[in-house]
Amino acid sequence: MRRGFAPEEYQARLRAAQSSMAEVGLGALLLTTEPEIRYFTGFLTRFWESPSRPWFLILPAMGDPVAVIPAIGAPLMGRTWVRDIRTWAAPDPEDDGVSLLADTLREIGGPVGVPSGPESHLRMPLAEFERVKRASALVFRDDAGIVAGLRAVKSEAEIVKIAHSCAIAGRAFDRVGEIAQPGVPLSTVFRNFQRLLLEEGADWVPYIAGGAGPMGYADVISPAGEAPLSAGEVLMLDTGAVWDGYFCDYDRNFAIGHATAEQSAAHARLIEATEAGEEAARVGASASDVWRAMARITGSAETSGRLGHGLGMQLTEGLSLTLKDHSVLKPGMVITLEPGLELASGMIMVHEENIVIREGRAQRLSRFAAATLLVI
């Protein structure tokens, strides 16, 4: 499968952004985060793990993007479709790209839009952002949700990559019986599950979660402990594996040795709720509509939190399946369905699948689990 995208893909994203910029009167968009910059350029690197250097991309109202980046990134950015690449020797404690960025923005003109909505952040020191605003003498304001809106609706090329990541995880889930048996510590299962994902083709595995216990697990975000698995427990593994910069995000529950009646009943109910969410996830429906469809089956209250979210270049992005999120579903949106149940006080089971919104029924990207809890 081809990595990256054709230049035409990025050009289409740029044209869509510029069309929206014209509607709201923006002269430029200033982007500072990894997914925003990669979305418009294809600049893919793990070097973002280092917080030492800021990176900037400017989308002008007309013409091609301008990258203002540390010199160390010039060779890789030069292999993207971006041709106007301006660099400085970073990190520079006296002027870490501030003057170069301000000069470039002044050359392009404003007003300058900066993503400022939910889940956005500015990846540069706030004091230096204030210096850029003063030095450029331009008006800065919210980007009117342009970038988030574009990223929410995936192209067919993006959907193929997410589906490929889901398939990798599916093959790893098929092999969990190789690594999870009574007596094996949960921490060892986590490490070995990451190995299986890499063996099946993942580029890296930024996210692993899970839990185990006879009546479910206390939460789905804690690090794995050293307690060994025991027969009669239910094991949940959740992964956000990445292929070519795109995530999957779904989980599987397994009964260790044998399944109890409570575990089996809860699992079947979770599958029923997931399928109800799938049925409700139609073009024109809202995120809250999908939440209600699942909550009716699980008995979730408003305080139970979200039962799914957007998915793509990040593990979670965009809409949340909550009662209060009224985002309207559009063709090409990729979302997770993630109902949960309480089996005992403070103990839960959850289930998660990945779908893409289509005209008519949603398309499954993960291979949906059967209603019968798998015993390993």
For residue 302, pLDDT beyond 70: no
The whole-angstrom distance between residue 243's C-alpha and the CA centroid of its chain comes to: 12
Same domain, residue pair 170 and 297: yes
Same domain, residue pair 242 and 367: yes
For residue 297, pLDDT beyond 70: yes
Average pLDDT over residues 237-257: 97
Residues 123/32, Cβ–Cβ less than 8 Å:
yes
Half-sphere exposure of 298 (CA within 13 A, CB side): 33
Residue 2 lies in a domain: no
Residue 94 lies in a domain: yes
Average pLDDT over residues 264-285: 98
Q: What is the predicted pLDDT for the residue at 303?
A: 53
User: What's the total number of domains in the chain?
Assistant: 2
Q: What is the predicted pLDDT for the residue at 305?
A: 76
Same domain, residue pair 34 and 95: yes
Radius of gyration of the chain (CA): 23
Distances in Å between the Cα of 336 and the Cα atoms of 110, 191, 287 are: 37, 24, 11
Same domain, residue pair 147 and 160: no
Same domain, residue pair 96 and 175: no
Same domain, residue pair 332 and 190: yes
Q: What is the predicted pLDDT for the residue at 18?
A: 98
Same domain, residue pair 176 and 281: yes
Average pLDDT over residues 140-166: 98
Same domain, residue pair 148 and 169: no
Q: pLDDT digit string (tens) for 339-370?
A: 999 999 999 999 999 999 999 999 999 999 99
Q: Dihedral through CA 14, CA 158, CA 306, CA 282, nearest 10?
A: 100
Q: How confident is the model at residue 259 (pLDDT cuts 50, 70, 90)?
A: very high
Cα–Cα distance between 31 and 240 in angstroms, integer?
A: 25
Q: What is the predicted pLDDT for the residue at 199?
A: 98
CATH number of the domain residue 14 falls in: 3.40.350.10
> Which of 123, 152, 181 corresponds to the end of one domain?
152
Same domain, residue pair 241 and 319: yes
Q: What is the predicted pLDDT for the residue at 1?
A: 83
Q: How confident is the model at residue 2 (pLDDT cuts 50, 70, 90)?
A: confident
Q: What is the predicted pLDDT for the residue at 12?
A: 97
Mean pLDDT, the chain, as a whole number? 96
Same domain, residue pair 48 and 145: yes
Q: pLDDT digit string (tens) for 304-336?
A: 679 999 999 999 999 999 999 999 999 999 999
> Which of 152, 173, 196 corresponds to the end of one domain?
152
Q: 3-state class of 269 per DSSP?
A: helix
> Which of 99, 131, 152 corresponds to the end of one domain?
152
Residue 125 lies in a domain: yes
Q: Which residue has the tokens 């402990």?
A: 225
Q: What is the predicted pLDDT for the residue at 299?
A: 86
Same domain, residue pair 278 and 356: yes
Q: 70 is in which domain, residue-wise?
A: 7-152
